[in-house]
Amino acid sequence: MFKKFLNKFSKKIGIDLGTSKTIICIQDKGIVISEPTVVAINNRLDQIIAVGEEARKMIGKNPSYITLAYPLDKGVISDFEVTEKMLKYFFDKIFQENFNFSARPSVIIGIPLDVTEVEKKAVEDAAMGAGAGKVFLVEEIMAAAIGARLPIQGASGSMIINLGGGKTEIAVISLYGVVISKTLNIAGDEMNKNIIQYARDNFNLLIGEKIAESIKIKIGSAFASEEETTVEMRGRDLISGLPKEIIINDSQVREALSPSVISIIDAIKSVLEMTPPELVADIYERGIVLCGAAAMLTGIDKRVSNEAEIPVRIADDPATCTIRGINFLIDDQKLLNEVLMPSAMDDKTVKVGK
């Protein structure tokens, strides 16, 4: 009776647990947390000292007794304990700011395609450990399709591509389900690595991850534009060991990014090749939809469209498609039931090692 009473007041929470960013929404309120998925740990005391944006500020500037932990790897929990603590930190923040009671909320969380039962259970356990009362799992790509307003319920195919930090998911969706898909461990973070490698190979310059990312965001592109843009790139000269700055232009950055861009395009083509012809016809008519924050790479839509010979559009506010889809599911129990993944908790044979 008391539990029922509490449930009535308990708001549902949605989580997009991304490799780069964790975004959390609550019922009737929308997005309340959007922070980098990174945690700073004091090794001497074995204590978390900063989470999210605060921890990100320390990247590349931390003394050896502070470790920066990225608890997700390619969309999957790689450090269970840190993930649980990070979620608990965010939940506590939400509770303090939004609720004045302590009912354990129901939580809807997105999971990548092709996760194992153990990986699925780790997500459920981390959310429960952080304070959830019940956990509902949905595929991130389905949530993203809902967020991008694709007609997932009909018997007609849509292709959605989520370009994230740790992974790219390519899926053809029809009748509430993924018909065909491919996951690539190449996405935004690999693009940063491409720029670091390019600077090393071409200029003997060692640059940090944050600098590589800011260059990508400022002048990175996948399709040539008429106007040249440049940006300064600062780092350490690998030969002299001294600080060095060079000016890099958009065509050099495009060249640097090309291994990732080519891999993504090849994967899209291979999914199209495997897709039944009727669905390809639908996709051609509707166009491929790109989402995920890395879909903001300038010209990626044009490049994919040129190479795959299919119209392409970028979803509105691509970085929040997944969480907006989850937010939609919070209020639509019927749709949630259609896209819900079976819980790993139902399978008594699976035991996860923490």
The yes or no reply on residue 110 touching ligand ATP (CB under 6 A) is: no
Listed ranges 127-135, 187-195, 270-278, 346-354: which one lies at the site for ligand ATP (CB under 6 A): 187-195
CA distance 261 to 31: 30
Task: Name the amino acid, one letter, at 34.
Answer: S
CA distance 340 to 333: 10
35 binds, among ligand ATP, Mg ion, none (CB under 5 to 8 A by kind): none
User: What H or E segment, with its residue span, contains residue 159?
Assistant: strand 158-163
The CA angle 168-171-175, to the nearest 5 degrees, is 150
The yes or no reply on residue 121 touching ligand ATP (CB under 6 A) is: no
Binding to ligand ATP by CB under 6 A, coded x per residue (else -) over 200-239, reads: -------------x--xx--x-------------------
Residue 50 has a CB neighbour count (10 Å cut-off) of: 19
Token digits for 193?
């690595």
Of 213 and 282, nearer to ligand ATP (C-beta) is: 213
Question: Is beta strand 13-17 parallel, antiparallel or unpaired with respect to 21-26?
Answer: antiparallel
3-state helix vs strand vs coil in the chain, percent to 5: 45, 25, 30
Tell me which residues in 18-37 interact with Mg ion (CB under 5 A).
18
Residue in the structure block whose two tokens are 């996948």? 222
Look up residue 241 and give its DSSP letter: -
Tell me which residues in 73-102 interact with ligand ATP (CB under 6 A).
75
Of 18 and 71, nearer to Mg ion (C-beta) is: 18
Compute the least distance from the CB of residue 261 to Mg ion, in Å.
18
**# residues contacting ligand ATP (CB under 6 A):** 22
189 binds, among ligand ATP, Mg ion, none (CB under 5 to 8 A by kind): ligand ATP
Task: Name the amino acid, one letter, at 310.
Answer: I
Of 268 and 279, nearer to ligand ATP (C-beta) is: 268
166 binds, among Mg ion, ligand ATP, none (CB under 5 to 8 A by kind): ligand ATP
Of 128 and 217, nearer to ligand ATP (C-beta) is: 217
Of 36 and 164, nearer to Mg ion (C-beta) is: 164
Short-list 274, 347, 280, CA closest to 309? 280
Short-list 180, 177, 142, 178, CA closest to 162? 142
Listed ranges 186-194, 247-255, 259-267, 339-347: which one lies at the site for ligand ATP (CB under 6 A): 186-194
Short-list 75, 70, 164, 175, CA closest to 115? 75
The yes or no reply on residue 71 touching ligand ATP (CB under 6 A) is: no
Which residues in this chain contact Mg ion in the complex, by CB under 5 A? 18, 164
Which residues in this chain contact ligand ATP in the complex, by CB under 6 A? 18-21, 75, 164-167, 187-189, 213, 216-217, 220, 292-294, 296-297, 319
